[in-house]
Structure 1
């Protein structure tokens, strides 16, 4: 089954490590093979990762897109441990993220990471 991706004008998309930018009109693509992709709206740039939870989400993106995930997975474990020390209430999110990564459900891990960031922002407010 093909994956339908609709891009807004000038929206970016990463497919298998290649950065693609849409032209000046909406476009629809059908991806007919298995690939790694992230839409611009899903991406947190490293420069924008100014909190521990955002840094963890950047690591999740690297795990997803990297060919060799071992180093990034080790970083993920260290970051998770540090987050647990400062935000014990983050445990359910981190367990869910860990389970998703272990099952190679990277989009689910990234989506749960967004919820973790929202929780972090809620606690900071």
Structure 2
């Protein structure tokens, strides 16, 4: 079954190991083939934008997804998730889902689950920020004045 894709002007998409960049007009096309990794620009993280632990996990899974040899990223991925589970044990159910999908070979679903990990991390950061206002950190010189 073919996948219908519509790209906005100048939008990029990864198909297999190629980056396709649209011109200055909308484009529609069909992608036919099995097990071809496809990532829209909005779903692509770069090493520069992977600036949190959960985003680094997403990047590792993304690299597995687009790689002809996903196992090359396993070491990096498992080191990252070990550190996250050590720091935030409540993230385990999401990581377990990612792990199961990786081990089952469903890297696209693992990537979707990694998005859930990013959302969970964002939620934890928001909760922390709400309970620890800036300037309320012990040893913060700015609040001492």
Unaligned runs of 5+ in 1: none
Hey, what does 2:118 align to over in structure 1? 117
Q: Which runs of 4+ in 1 moved over 4 A?
A: none
> Which structure's relative contact order is higher, taking Cα pairs within 8 Å and 6+ residues apart?
1
Other structure's SS at 1:48 match: coil
Other structure's SS at 2:45 match: coil
CA offset at residue 117 of structure 1?
0.5
CA deviation vs aligned residue, 1:30-75 (integer Å, no higher than 9, x gap)? 1111211111011111101111110010000111111222220121
Is 1:30 the counterpart of 2:60 in the alignment?
A: no
Unaligned runs of 5+ in 2: 127-145
RMSD: 1.0
Q: Which has the larger radius of gyration?
A: 2
* 1:1-16 pair list within 5 angstroms: 1-16=1-16
Hey, what does 2:40 align to over in structure 1? 39
TM-score, structure 1 as length reference:
0.95
